[in-house]
Amino acid sequence: MAVNIAILGFGTVGSGVADILAMNGASIEAKTGKKIELKHILDLRDFPDSPFASLVTHNADDVFEDPDLQIIIETIGGARIAYEYTKRALSKGISVVTSNKELVSTHGVELLKIAEDNGCSYLYEAAVGGGIPIIQPLYRDLAANKIVRIAGIVNGTTNYILSQMKDNGISYEEALKEAQENGFAEADPTADVEGIDAQRKLSILSTIALEGNYVSPDEINAEGISKLTLDDIDFEEKAQAELKLIAYFENADNGAIAYVAPTYVARGNLLASVSGVFNAVMVDGNALGVSMYYGKGAGTMPTASAVFGDIIQAAVTEGHPAESRLWKEGSVKLVPYADVKADIVVRLDSKADELLKIFEGYSPVALDCGDAVIVTSITHGEADRLCAQADGAKWFHILR
Amino acid sequence: MAVNIAILGFGTVGSGVADILAMNGASIEAKTGKKIELKHILDLRDFPDSPFASLVTHNADDVFEDPDLQIIIETIGGARIAYEYTKRALSKGISVVTSNKELVSTHGVELLKIAEDNGCSYLYEAAVGGGIPIIQPLYRDLAANKIVRIAGIVNGTTNYILSQMKDNGISYEEALKEAQENGFAEADPTADVEGIDAQRKLSILSTIALEGNYVSPDEINAEGISKLTLDDIDFEEKAQAELKLIAYFENADNGAIAYVAPTYVARGNLLASVSGVFNAVMVDGNALGVSMYYGKGAGTMPTASAVFGDIIQAAVTEGHPAESRLWKEGSVKLVPYADVKADIVVRLDSKADELLKIFEGYSPVALDCGDAVIVTSITHGEADRLCAQADGAKWFHILR
Say which of B140, B292, B311 has its CB closest to residue A295. B292
pLDDT tens string B113-128: 999 999 999 999 999 9
Query: In chain A, whose CA is at the least distance from the CA of B135?
Result: A141
d(CA A340, CA A321) in angstroms, rounded, equals 39
The span from the CA of A247 to the CA of B303, in Å, is: 27
* Percent of chain B's residues with pLDDT above 90: 89
Q: What pLDDT score was predicted for residue B392?
A: 79
Q: Give, in order, the Cα–Cα distances in Å from A5 to each of A65, A69, A302, B111.
A: 13, 6, 19, 34
Look at residues A208, A220, A59, A202 and name the one whose alpha carbon lies nearest to residue A123.
A208
With an 8 Å Cβ cutoff, are A34 and B323 in contact? yes
Q: Please tell me the predicted confidence (pLDDT) of residue A152.
A: 98
Cβ distance of B305 and A145 shorter than 8 Å: yes
Partners of residue B292 in chain A, C-beta under 8 Å:
292-295
Q: What is the least distance, in Å, from the CA of A240 to any CA of chain B?
A: 15
Q: Among B20, B137, B323, select the one facing A287 at the smallest CB separation.
A: B20
pLDDT per residue of chain A (400 residues) written in tens, 0 to 9: 799 999 999 999 999 999 999 999 999 998 888 999 999 999 999 999 999 999 999 999 999 999 999 999 999 999 999 999 999 999 999 999 999 999 999 999 999 999 999 999 999 999 999 999 999 999 999 999 999 999 999 999 999 999 999 999 999 999 999 999 999 999 999 999 999 999 999 999 999 999 999 999 999 999 999 999 999 999 999 999 999 999 999 999 999 999 999 999 999 999 999 999 999 999 999 999 999 999 999 899 999 999 999 999 999 888 777 666 899 998 899 999 999 999 999 998 777 888 999 999 999 999 988 789 999 999 999 999 999 998 889 999 999 9
Instruction: Please identify which of the residues A34, A101, A201, A244 carries the catalytic annotation.
Output: A201
B371 band by pLDDT with thresholds 50, 70 and 90: confident
Which of B372, B371, B147, B172 minimizes the C-alpha distance to B262? B172
Return the biggest CA–CA distance within chain A.
73
Give the length of chain A.
400
Task: Determine the distance in angstroms separating the CA of B50 from the nearest CA of chain A, rounded to an integer.
Answer: 19
pLDDT digits (tens, 9 = 90+) for B260-316: 999 999 999 999 999 999 999 999 999 999 999 999 998 999 999 999 999 999 998
Give the span between the Cα atoms of B67 and A93, in whole angstroms: 36
What is the C-alpha to C-alpha distance for residues A298 and B283, in angstroms, rounded to an integer? 17
State yes or no: pLDDT of B322 exceeds 80: no
Query: Which chain A positions have a beta carbon within 8 Å of B31's beta carbon?
Result: 143, 211-212
pLDDT beyond 70 at B12? yes
Cβ pair B337, B221 in contact under 8 A: yes
Average pLDDT, integer, range B222-245: 96
Taking alpha carbons only, the member of A286, A296, A192 closest to residue A245 is: A192
Q: How confident is the model at residue B250 (pLDDT cuts 50, 70, 90)?
A: very high
Q: Is the pLDDT of residue B323 over 70?
A: no
CB contact under 8 A, B141 and A140: no
Report the distance separating Cα B154 and Cα A270, nearest Å: 17
Bridge-based pairing state of the strands B341-347 and B365-366 = unpaired
Q: How confident is the model at residue B232 (pLDDT cuts 50, 70, 90)?
A: very high
- Taking CA atoms, what residue in A is nearest to B292? A294
Our CA dihedral for A293, A298, A301, A304, rounded to 10 degrees, sits at 80
Residues B133, A137: C-beta atoms closer than 8 Å = yes
Q: What is the pLDDT of residue B52?
A: 97
The pLDDT value recorded for residue A116 is: 94
Query: For residue B354, is pLDDT > 80?
Result: yes
Residue B201 annotated in active site: yes
Does A20 sit within 8 Å of B287, measured CB to CB?
yes
Tell me the H-state helices in chain A.
Answer: 12-32, 60-64, 81-91, 101-117, 135-136, 156-168, 172-181, 190-193, 196-209, 230-239, 300-316, 352-358, 380-389
Contact between B134 and B159 under an 8 Å Cβ cutoff? The reply is no
Distance of CA B136 to the CA centre of its chain: 14
Mean pLDDT (chain B) is 95
**Does the pLDDT at position B192 exceed 90?**
yes
Which residues of chain A have a CB within 8 Å of the CB of B294? 270, 291-294
> Which residues in A lie closer than 8 A to residue B141 (C-beta atoms)?
125, 133, 136-137, 306, 309
To the nearest whole Å, the CA of B386 is away from the closest chain A CA by 37
> What SS3 class is residue A249?
strand
Q: How far apart are CA B195 and CA B259, in angstroms?
A: 10
A71-74/A2-8 β-pairing: parallel
Cross-chain residue pair A306–B285, CB shorter than 8 Å: no
Return the closest-CA partner of residue A210 out of A89, A63, A311, A325: A325
Residue B240 phi, psi dihedral angles, 5° rounding: 50, 45
Give the largest Cα separation in chain B, rounded.
73
Burial of A339 (0-12, 13-18, 19+ CB in 10 A): middle
When CB atoms are compared, the residue of A288, A305, A324 closest to B295 is A288
Name every chain A residue with its beta carbon within 8 A of the beta carbon of B125: 141
CB count within 10 Å of CB A68 equals 9
What is the helix (H) or strand (E) element at residue A282, kind and residue range? Answer: strand A278-285
pTM: 0.97
* B127 contacts in chain A (CB < 8 Å): none
The answer to whether the beta carbons of residues B274 and A294 sit under 8 Å apart is: no
B288, B306, B323 ranked by CB distance to A131: nearest: B288
Nearest chain B alpha carbon to A125: B141
Contact (Cβ atoms closer than 8 angstroms) between residue A262 and residue A245: yes
Question: Do residues B172 and B160 make contact, with C-beta atoms less than 8 angstroms apart?
Answer: no
User: Whats the size of chain B, residue-wise?
Assistant: 400
- Hey, how many other C-beta atoms are within 10 angstroms of the C-beta on A267? 15
Residue B249: partners with Cβ closer than 8 Å, 6 or more residues away: B147, B149, B150, B151, B202, B205, B206, B209, B256, B257, B258
3-state percent helix, strand, coil for chain B, nearest multiple of 5: 40, 25, 35
DSSP state of B361: G
- List the single residue in B141, B146, B324 with the smallest CB-CB distance to A309: B141
Range scoring the smallest mean pLDDT among A83-97, B64-78, B366-380: B366-380
Write down the pLDDT at residue B212.
94
CA angle A375, A376, A377 (to 5 degrees): 125
Q: Which is it for strands A365-366 and A372-379: parallel, antiparallel or unpaired?
A: antiparallel
Helices B156-168 and B230-239 pack at an angle, to 10 degrees, of: 80
The amino acid at residue A125 is E
Report chain B residues whose CB lies below 8 A from the CB of A289.
131, 295-296, 299, 301-302
Catalytic residue among B34, B101, B201, B296: B201
